[in-house]
Amino acid sequence: MFVIPIYIEAGITGFESPATQYKELGLSLDQLLIKHPDATFMGVASGQSMQGVGIFDGDLLIVDRAVNVSTGDVVVATYNGSFVCKIIHKEKRLLMSASDDYAPVYISPEDGFCLEGVVTRSIRLHKPCVEFQSVSHI
């Protein structure tokens, strides 16, 4: 990836060409954002229930299946046939939203529940570029 720093000065002489000071970082976005490439997938968030932790409708979620899950982690799971993005409380078996508008959901033994992974990154897409499978709220 090329990073082009642009330095703006309050002078009369104009701006220097941005291309004159570019430098190449030795990392790709994959290397910066993904720790376990073989255990990572991406999805797009849908809904407003996770805005309290900075995840908004349409954000790209990077989900790592190799990360150990702890209480308080933001996770992606399947719950009764739907993909959901929630905060998990392992001991109390709860899926919690980051909004007071949504009540916590108890995961009973009868529920269809499968933890898919921990959300390690969320990226705001100011302009959507591709179609992804959405991860919704309960």
DSSP 47: S
Q: What confidence tens digit (pLDDT) does each residue in 60-77 have?
A: 999 999 999 999 999 999
Band the pLDDT of 19: cuts 50, 70, 90.
Answer: low
Domain hosting residue 47, numbered range? 36-135
- Answer whether residue 122 is part of any domain: yes
CATH number for the domain harbouring residue 111? 2.10.109.10
- Answer whether residue 103 is part of any domain: yes
Residue 22 · residue 58 · CB < 8 Å: no
Q: Residue 128, Cα to own-chain centre: how many angstroms?
A: 15
Q: What confidence tens digit (pLDDT) does each residue in 89-115 have?
A: 999 999 999 999 999 999 999 999 999
Q: How many domains does the chain have?
A: 1
- Answer whether residue 17 is part of any domain: no
- Answer whether residue 2 is part of any domain: no
Catalytic residues, by residue number, are 49, 86
- Answer whether residue 85 is part of any domain: yes
Q: List, in sequence order, every residue forming a beta bridge with 118; answer none if it has no partner.
A: 64, 75
Letter for the amino acid at 99? S
- Answer whether residue 27 is part of any domain: no
